[in-house]
Copies of this chain bind each other. A is one copy, B any other.
Amino acid sequence: MKNQKSTQKKIKISIEPIGRRILLEEPTNGLDAILDAGIGIKSVCAGKGTCGKCRILVMDKDRKPPNDQEMKKLSSDEISHGVRLACQQVFDRDLKIYIPASSLSEEQKLQVEGEEIKFEIDPLVNKFHLKLKRASLDDLGSDLDRVKNALKSGYDISIELIDIEVLKLMPLIIRNNSWDITVTIKDSEIINVEAGDKTASSYGIAIDLGTTKIAILLVNLISGETIDSKGIMNPQISFGEDVMSRLNFSLQDQDNLEKIKNIAIGRISEAINKLCSKNNISSSEILEMTLVGNTAMHHLFLGLPVKQLALSPFVPITSSPIEIKARDIGIELAPGAYIYMPPPIAGFVGSDHLAMILGTRIDNKKGNYLGIDIGTNTEIALVSGGKITSVSTASGPAFEGAHIKHGMRAAPGAIEKVLIDQNTFTAEIQTINDKTPIGICGSGILDGVAELLRTGLIDKRGKFNKESKYLCKDSKGQLKFVLGLLSNNNKNSDKDWKTRKQENLKTNIGDTASVAIDKQCYENDISIDQKDIVEIQLAKGAMRTGIEILLENAGISFNKIDGIIIAGAFGSYIDPKNVVNIGMFPKVNLEKISQVGNAAGVGARMMLLSRIERKRSEKIAKDIAYLELTVFPSFTDHFIASMQFPEPEDII
């Protein structure tokens, strides 16, 4: 019976934005399937279809018409865009669904901040309080001339331009407030006008627009303080998980570029508004915004064509900084506010890499340093003798949980830490928010593979030790190592999970994996299989190749490296020891490794707060030498060698 079922074609459901894939044996109610997978979706009426909380977006085009309950609870606009109620859906075919944040009972783990570094606060927008001379028949100057004169006489500032929308607002604000106003100036342009003296407050937004996550910082432009921050998923995920699939989507149809642009802009606008109102600030008080991101995100955000970015030789349209009125992009900030986007470096090295360099000050370091931002594409900078050389490696989305059988993003219930006992070969696991495990996220899979290697359950080629009794076989005879049992029904509540954990979970799971199932395990048990290990080998191999070629190109041996800076949200969760143990880097004193969090966000904030840092970033962009890995003669040799894991004696 079991064998019969497992050879039947299963129903594959991809659940975005958390990146979890589930396999169903038979047609299943949508809400049940999602809950069974351990994903916290809201449901108040327990599936009756009356509360309307379990809204999902059915991404596939062959979705079915809504039923009566759905017609009642959803707007016609929602229905036409594919929104449905999970409890009214039957998952009876392969589907891709998207659970909006409003339907999720818990938020994903999205690190948005990084380590702050010191710099002088000197924003590019500044406010000036003006008391104007009232117009009369004896003094007939225009409003703008009055403002110009007051700026000149009061502050010795000459302006050349005024934003047209600000010009439209000015006469009424002047006259309704007894000729007492505050203007905001960027360079020599007036970009905002307010009533009375508003010089005590000044706000900006810094954004790190990632392929998967978007980090948004609300910044006080006077104190430099980050007032609040917010991490959201990039909604473009619904059009493709990685950069290439999004570029391809944009090329498929004339309208797709607009579509993929607008979905991100809409979501960013919404998040800015929420972040502002949470802090009692109006988004019309936001005077400037900086935005960094990889080159594809940069182009898509601006609605620039991407064909030349998707095809060899993969060149960007521009590698100059861009300043554009926020309103021209469709984001409502202060009437004349600009969005500043620092220059992309190359097709696959974006302004987020530049921001990382700025935000870590790695360019200022004496000696030899590596700066690494791990992601679907991992950009690596080598700083040596005042020169910066950068590469982009196609590390793939394995560390985002994609291409890994039980992989998922860093959402509640994801296994994020793994330790395998050298004697009992039981796995000690830690899940995000201490929830019942529902999958493995990037740091968990990295830990898992490193631990399999350390305990000899896999060898340096990544092959499972077939002799080990601590591995089990699935129905197809493939070896797996089980990390946690996935509940097949929804009975294991979080409470059960916590109890079980307290009752010495390690043994339970180890025993279960090795004994109770007689070396055969269920598909849905959370495990690592041979294919998962290969994915990790490919990912770490790509990064190691990048490092090796950077070193070879510069003629530096690895032991001359004085420090390795790992940036990025993912990079701050991983265990540096395991990074070394899987051979992402050559063996290194762990003290040389520092994890700095979202350095790109830090860089975006610096560009917002400091004229000097912004100028410096543009200088850095010009100075960076981009190295195209694939045309490097020894690329293939390096890549093959880099796939291997370290020798047992090199494991720390």
Contacts and interface: CB of A to CB of B under 8 A. Distances in A.
Interface in A304-321: 304-305, 307-308, 312-320
Contacts of A312: 137
A631 B138 contact: yes
Interface stretch (A42-50, A165-173, A473-481, A593-601): A165-173
Contacts of A303: 168
A313 B136 contact: yes
A227 interface: no
A19 interface: no
A160 to B, nearest CB: 8
A575 interface: no
A307 B170 CA distance: 12
A337 B78 CA distance: 39
A140 B144 CA distance: 46
Q: How many copies does the complex hold?
A: 2
A115 to B, nearest CB: 31
A534 to B, nearest CB: 28
B135 A318 contact: no
A322 interface: yes
Contact of A313 (B135, B308, B344): B135
A612 B173 CA distance: 36
A140 B318 contact: no
A389 to B, nearest CB: 14
Contact of A317 (B170, B305, B308, B324): B170
Contacts of A315: 135, 140-143
A344 B142 CA distance: 9
Contact of A304 (B135, B137, B168, B628): B168
A140 B346 contact: yes
Contacts of A322: 164
Q: Which of A136, A140, A318, A344 counts the most B-chain CB atoms under 10 A from its CB?
A: A140
Interface string A46-70: 0000000000000000000000000
B167 A318 contact: yes
B628 A137 contact: yes
Contacts of A140: 313-315, 346-347, 626, 628
A308 B167 contact: no
Contacts of A167: 302, 304, 317-318
A291 to B, nearest CB: 14
By size class, the interface of chain A is 35 or more
Contacts of A136: 313
Q: Which of A142, A162, A320, A628 counts the most B-chain CB atoms under 10 A from its CB?
A: A142
Contacts of A171: 304-305, 307-308, 317
A328 interface: yes
Given A137-B313, A628-B137, A318 B168 contact: no
A145 interface: yes
A175 interface: yes
Contact of A328 (B139, B162, B164): B164
A630 interface: yes
Interface in A609-626: 626
Nearest to A302: B164
Q: Which of A164, A305, A626 counts the most B-chain CB atoms under 10 A from its CB?
A: A164
Contacts of A142: 315-320, 344
A135 B302 CA distance: 22
Nearest to A309: B171
A630 B319 contact: no
Contacts of A168: 303-305
A135 B346 CA distance: 12
Interface in A287-310: 302-305, 307-308
Contact of A320 (B139, B144, B313, B344): B144
21 contacts: A135-B308, A138-B628, A139-B313, A140-B314, A140-B315, A140-B626, A143-B308, A143-B315, A143-B318, A144-B317, A145-B318, A145-B320, A164-B328, A167-B304, A168-B303, A168-B305, A170-B317, A171-B304, A171-B317, A172-B307, A175-B308
User: Across chains A and B, which 6 residue pairs bring their CB atoms closest together, nearest first?
Assistant: A144-B318, A142-B319, A142-B316, A137-B313, A135-B315, A171-B308
